[in-house]
């Protein structure tokens, strides 16, 4: 028997959307100036009490990833700089970890944390 994989063998790797969501969340939280993630939809988050309702929406279309990130930022930081940093880091993390192209990372500033 031949233990080597031939070029004609067909195999697939499937990436769960939850994996992309987790990469997005953890990468966003690592950016200095991010206080926390905001609920994507407060009603759904309360009804389902799911971690997946926190912070991001991820869409994969034609092997291209589109991300919307919902954040609360600290008040003493530059919003534009933090937003760009989140975009760069999330895009890089998804591309490097999963190998998918990123079509866009949209940042939604839901609140500013003045009490931190």
Q: Which pTM was predicted? A: 0.80
The model's pLDDT over 3-39, given as tens digits with 9 standing for 90+, comes to 555 566 788 888 888 999 999 999 999 999 999 999 8
Per-residue b or e along 33-72, where b marks 16 or more CB atoms closer than 10 Å to that residue's CB: bbbbbbebeeeebeeeeeebbebbbbeeeeeebebbbbbb
84: buried, middle or exposed (CB in 10 Å: 19+, 13-18, 0-12)?
middle
Comparing 98 with 116, the larger pLDDT belongs to 98
**Which is nearest to 107 in space by CA: 84, 91, 89?**
84
- pLDDT at 54 (0 to 100): 80
- pLDDT at 47 (0 to 100): 46
- pLDDT at 48 (0 to 100): 47
Q: Using CA atoms, how far apart are residues 19 and 84, in angstroms rounded to an integer?
A: 22
Domains of the chain, CATH where assigned: 17-113 (3.30.70.1350)
The model's pLDDT over 28-83, given as tens digits with 9 standing for 90+, comes to 999 999 999 998 765 544 444 455 558 999 999 999 999 999 999 999 989 999 99
């Amino acid at each position: 028997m031949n233990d080597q994989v031939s070029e004609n063998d067909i195999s697939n790797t499937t990436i769960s959307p939850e994996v992309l969501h987790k990469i997005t969340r953890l990468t966003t939280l690592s950016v200095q100036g991010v206080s926390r993630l905001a609920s994507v939809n407060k009603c759904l988050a309360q009804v389902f009490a799911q971690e997946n309702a926190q912070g991001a929406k991820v869409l994969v279309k034609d092997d291209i990833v589109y991300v919307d990130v919902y954040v609360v930022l600290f008040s003493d930081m530059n919003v534009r700089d933090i937003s760009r940093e989140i975009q760069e880091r999330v895009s890089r993390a998804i591309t490097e970890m999963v190998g998918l192209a990123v079509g866009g990372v949209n940042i939604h500033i839901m609140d500013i944390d003045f009490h931190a």
